[in-house]
Amino acid sequence: MEREQTLLRQAQDRLANIAKIPSLKKGQSIKKMLKEKGISRRDFMKWAGAMTAMLSLPASFTPLTAKAAEVADRLPVIWLHLAECTGCSESLLRSDGPGIASLIFDYISLEYHETIMAAAGYQAEENLESAIERYKGRYVLMVEGGVPTGLEGQYLTIGAHGNTGLANAKLASENAAAIFAIGTCSSFGGIQAAHPNPTAAKPLSEVTNKPVINVPGCPPSEKNIVGNVIHFLLFGTLPQLDAFNRPKWAYGLRIHDLCERRGHFDAGEFVQRFGDEGAKNGYCLYKVGCKGPYTFNNCSKLRFNSHTSWPIQAGHGCIGCSEPNFWDTMGPFEEPLASKLYNAPLFKGADRTADNIGITLLGAAAIGMAAHAVLSNFRKDKE
């Protein structure tokens, strides 16, 4: 309780100091923007409560989470695109009915984002250089895409001056207040770094000596992206991270732990091939390649497409896209890993048992039922 009160005071003081900084969005406010979008204060506070829970914070932080969103326009953001498909930006920005998380990101002062900014050519490069200089030590850097390092980065050149993505990433990282690698390509190299990796693509963390928070996924949920911004606004520090520098509040549990098909796994009920009776009955997808037992993410809670569904609900197994080197280690995507070793810290070889555990549990249940039947018959005989 005392620790909670200390954290509350720290967050209150930090937000009060941020609120003193002049707004970067002149004539706008979060309240005005939400009202224009038809979102009530009640809905906004419900969102703040859900975001607070997602960040694994006590409910008492809900008003502060709302306050953090309200002062988000004081936070300059620089978003770089390197070797990627823009899918992470699409996940955040493309929606038929934008959620509050997406709207919050619209409200943030996005100083540079190649996909959505109007500037081009020399003007665009000037915007980037100006933002880095003007907000030195204050801006949040978000990088989407792996970093080609072969030929000194010449595999990826950007803008009128032909700067390399490698040079831009290093320059922008140098004076950032916080750095987020958005998506699996930036976090771990992605498909660009898959064997044989002809461009020598690397994750962002390997080209800068600054701390990098990885937000993997192909793509990650927009809530995982915005949630990290909210956490930074609240505390100004790194969240608790796992062995791969992923926030534990988002990547602390396996897909398998909260999967709606988990009961079928435990009962030994598996889809044997797509379209069979098991598939129609919603059985576990492990035998047709689901990598949920080895993948850490919160997809089953957040879902996609306006939170209506996610791959496993739709009938296809998880492909492990938020794990390091998943293009090389998780394939083929529609076959189980079986006895392959997966070298996750502390869980080396854990996947060996995943294919058998359902049958084992089912067998144990059958033994228990048989024992119960024997005992019942024995009692009847005695009577």
Query: Annotated binding site for [3Fe-4S] cluster, which residues?
Result: 299, 318, 321
**Count of CB atoms situated within 10 Å of the CB of 155:** 19
Q: At a CB cut-off of 8 Å and minimum separation 6, what does 297 contact?
A: 216, 217, 250, 251, 255, 322
Distance separating alpha carbons of residues 25 and 7, to the nearest angstrom: 29
**Count of CB atoms situated within 10 Å of the CB of 121:** 10
Task: Tell me which residue of 161, 156, 236, 145 sits closest to 199, measured CA to CA.
Answer: 156
Q: Is 179 exposed, middle or buried (0-12, 13-18, 19+ CB in 10 A)?
A: buried
User: Which token pair is 235?
Assistant: 């505390």
Binding residues: 85, 88, 185, 218, 256, 259, 284, 290, 299, 318, 321
Q: Are 65 and 230 in contact (CB under 8 A)?
A: yes
Backbone angles phi, psi at 275, to 5 degrees: 95, -5
DSSP 212: -
Binding residues for [4Fe-4S] cluster: 85, 88, 185, 218, 256, 259, 284, 290
Please state at what angle helix 100-107 crosses helix 41-54, rounded to 10 degrees: 90
